[in-house]
Amino acid sequence: MTENKEQRTCEKGHRYYKSSDCPTCPICESKRKPETGFLSILAAPARRALENNGITSLETLSAYREEEILKFHGLGPSSIPKLKGALKEKGLAFKEE
C-alpha cells in the first residue's frame, strides 16, 4: 500500500506517507477541519483554497463569481454544488457577471 509513496514527518512529528508533492500533513489537516459551517462540508484542498484566498464566510464567498472560485488551486467543479447549497441556505448566491 505504500508503493510509490514516501514516508514524511511533519513539523509536529506526525509520520505519514504521500505520493504527491503536496507538503500538507493529513493528520494535522484532519485535526483542523471545522466541525460546523460551510467549510466543514468541503474536502481539505477546497477548504484550503478558500482560506488561502481570504474566504472564510459565506458573505465573502458571495462577492465572487463562480468562475473566479474555480480558478483557485485546489478547488474543482465538484465543490460548486456544495457551495451553492450553502449560499442558498443563507439567501445568498455567487456574484453575477
Grid coordinates belonging to 34: 471545522
Grid coordinates belonging to 4: 510509490
d(CA 68, CA 54): 13
Residue 49 burial (CB count, 10 A): 21
Average confidence (pLDDT) over 25-29: 74
Grid coordinates belonging to 42: 468541503
Average confidence (pLDDT) over 20-27: 75
Q: In this structure, are residues 83 and 89 in contact, taking their beta carbons and an 8 Å threshold?
A: no
pLDDT in tens, 34-79: 777 999 999 888 999 999 999 999 999 999 999 999 999 999 999 9
Is domain 34-97 given the CATH code 3.40.1110.10 in the classification?
Answer: no
Which amino acid is residue 21, in one-letter code? D
Handedness of CA 81, 72, 46, 53 (dihedral sign): negative
